[in-house]
Amino acid sequence: MALTDEQILQVFKKTEGILHGHFVLTSGRHSDTYMQCAKLFVHPEESAYLCGALAEKLREFNAEIVVSPAVGGIIMGYEVARQLGVPNFFAEREGGSMTLRRGFALKAGMRVIVVEDVVTTGGSVKEVMELCRNAGAEIVAVASVVDRSGGQVDFGVPYCALLSMEVKSYEASECPLCREGKTPAVKPGSRGLK
Ligand SMILES: [Zn+2]
């Protein structure tokens, strides 16, 4: 089941996973569009539909486990793992760095797919990749629902995204929305959440 960009966008619009307004991204840059993937995962049926399409692309990697960065990647990681028929862990920040807690432990040589909801710079994904490799695991692929880098990010392994979107963003000092002075920029992301 390969979905078209239009079909995927329809699901996002239906679940209000695309927000329009004035936002501060994790990078500190401003944008008029924000992909709020959490809104997609409010709806189990739509989540299963999109993650199922992604899981189809991921099957060829014969992964043994899915690992995702908290918080954004947790629900998606669970659903992709469920559809692939493999277990899943999530990594979380402790003292600023990504760690596996709660008795989660990777075995050496394990084939891992790292799953994140939205990739912008890929920072969290790269941290989780390093964490898994330090445990001796092998990263066979990275997957996300949305690639906001517009294909610019390079993980050094195959990367599957359902939707590749290049959303314009601006340095805060050069933001046209700020200049218009209409609405203050808001930060809808989850980094820094305890
Ligand atoms: Zn702005």
Rounded to the nearest angstrom, the distance between the alpha carbon of 173 and the centre of ligand 1 is 8
Rounded to the nearest angstrom, the distance between the alpha carbon of 165 and the centre of ligand 1 is 20
Position 189 scores a pLDDT of: 57
Rounded to the nearest angstrom, the distance between the alpha carbon of 87 and the centre of ligand 1 is 41
Share of the chain above pLDDT 70, in %: 96
Position 94 scores a pLDDT of: 93
Rounded to the nearest angstrom, the distance between the alpha carbon of 13 and the centre of ligand 1 is 23
What DSSP designation does 60 have? G
Rounded to the nearest angstrom, the distance between the alpha carbon of 28 and the centre of ligand 1 is 10
Rounded to the nearest angstrom, the distance between the alpha carbon of 192 and the centre of ligand 1 is 20
Distance CA 194, CA 191 (A): 9
Long-range CB pairs of 78-82, under 8 A, 24+ apart, other chains included: 79/41, 79/47, 79/48, 79/51, 80/51, 80/54, 80/55, 80/113, 80/115, 80/143, 81/115
Q: Reply yes or no on whether the pLDDT at 191 is more than 70.
A: no
Rounded to the nearest angstrom, the distance between the alpha carbon of 95 and the centre of ligand 1 is 30
Position 90 scores a pLDDT of: 98
Distance CA 117, CA 38 (A): 8
Position 193 scores a pLDDT of: 42
Position 192 scores a pLDDT of: 45
Global pTM? 0.83
pLDDT, tens digit, 9 for 90 and up, residues 106-164? 999 999 999 999 998 999 999 999 999 999 999 999 999 999 888 899 999 999 999 88
pLDDT, tens digit, 9 for 90 and up, residues 42-100? 999 999 999 999 999 999 999 999 999 999 999 999 999 999 999 999 999 999 899 99
